[in-house]
Amino acid sequence: MTGRTRVPARASARGERKRLEKLSESITDRDVEILLYLHEHKVLTTRQIAHLCFSSESRAQARLARLEELEVIRRTRPPARVGSLPKHAILDTDGAVIVAEHLGIGFQELGFRRDRGLGLINSPRLRHLRDTNTFFSVLTQACRLASGLYQLVEWKSEEACARRWSRHITPDGLGVLQSPQGRVSFLLELDRGTENRGRLAQKIRKYRLISGGGSAPQVLLFCFPTELREASAREALEGSRLIVATTTLERHSADPLGAVWRPLRANRRSPLFELTRGEPT
C-alpha cells in the first residue's frame, strides 16, 4: 500500500520556519517598506511604488520582478475596455508573513486574505483606489525630491480612517505633512464627479461630527476630476468647522507641493502646507 509520507507537525513547522528564514535573507529594508505599503493600501502600480521607494521606475520594475519571483507579492494587469493598464501589485502570503513579523503580531491577527487583493484587481473600486494612491504617492515623491524640507510622515488608508472614526466618516485617506512651517494634518475626499450637491453637503455635515475632537485633522481636502466640477461643487462644501480646500487631480499631480489648493471664500490658491495659516483672500 502506498501513500504520502506523513510529516509530523513539529517537523513541518521547523521546515516552514527554515524556509522563511532563508527567504528573509533575500529581503531588504526597502522591500519590507514596499510590503508594508501593500498591506496598508492594498493595490499599487509599479509607478506608484517607484514614487514611494525608488529613484526611477526602471529600478522599481527590476526589484518588483524579483519580489514576484520570491512570491512575496503578486502582479497582474487588470482588464481594460480600451488599451492596457499597468501592472498592479498586491501582497502575497509570504509577504504577509513578513509584514506580520515586522509588526510583531501573529499572522491571523493581520487578517490577510489573498483573495481580497485579487478581488480588488477586478473590482469597480479599483480606479478610485488607484487615483487615491496616486495622490499620496506623487506627494511622497515630491517631498523626497525637495531636499529634505518636506516629508509625508503619515498616510492612512480609507479602511484605517473608517476604523479610527467608527465609520462616522470614510475619507479616502489621511495624511500628515511635515514642512519647515510645521505639520499639517489632512483628510482627502477624492471626488469622481458622481455625487450631487446634496450628497456633498451631507458629507460636510458628517465631518462636523468630528471637527471638535482632539483627533480631528486640520484640513479637509476635496480633489475633483475637472475644474468645472470643482467650481460647481464648492458652494456645497460650506459649513464645516475644518479648513476646506479644493483642487483637481491634474493640478495636484503636476505640482503636489505647489499653490494648487483653493480654500473656500478665497480667490487664490495656496500650497498645502500654508492652508492652516488662515484663508487667503
Q: Can you list the alpha helix ranges (DSSP code H) found in the chain?
A: 9-24, 29-41, 46-53, 57-69, 93-103, 107-110, 114-121, 126-144, 158-164, 197-208, 227-233, 249-254
Find the Cα–Cα–Cα–Cα dihedral 10, 14, 19, 25, rounded to 10°: 150
Please state, in angstroms and as integers, the Cα–Cα distance from residue 268 to each residue in 53, 133, 181, 224, 279, following that order: 33, 27, 20, 17, 9
What is the third-level CATH fold of 9-123? Answer: Arc Repressor Mutant, subunit A (1.10.10)
Q: Do domains 9-123 and 127-277 have the same CATH topology?
A: no
Which strands make up the sheet holding 88-91, listed edge to edge? Answer: 44-45, 88-91, 73-76
Any residues with CB less than 8 A from the CB of 185 and at least 6 apart, and which? 154, 174, 175, 176, 177, 217, 218, 219
Cβ 122 vs Cβ 79: under 8 Å: yes
Please state, in angstroms and as integers, the Cα–Cα distance from residue 192 to each residue in 1, 82, 114, 135, 200, following that order: 64, 20, 28, 13, 12
Q: Which of 99, 94, 101 lies closest to 23 in space, CA to CA?
A: 94
Positions of the chain with pLDDT under 70: 1-12, 81-83, 213, 278-281
Domain 127-277 has CATH 3.40.1350: yes
Residue spans per domain, the chain: 9-123, 127-277
Q: What is the pTM of this model?
A: 0.91
Residue 8, pLDDT score: 47
Euclidean distance between CA atoms 193 and 88, whole angstroms: 25
Chain CA centroid to CA 96, Å? 17
User: Up-side HSE of residue 131: CA atoms within 13 Å toward CB?
Assistant: 17
Euclidean distance between CA atoms 248 and 130, whole angstroms: 16
Euclidean distance between CA atoms 269 and 245, whole angstroms: 9
Residue 173, pLDDT score: 97
Q: Which of 109, 108, 116 lies closest to 92 in space, CA to CA?
A: 116
Beta bridge partners of 229: none
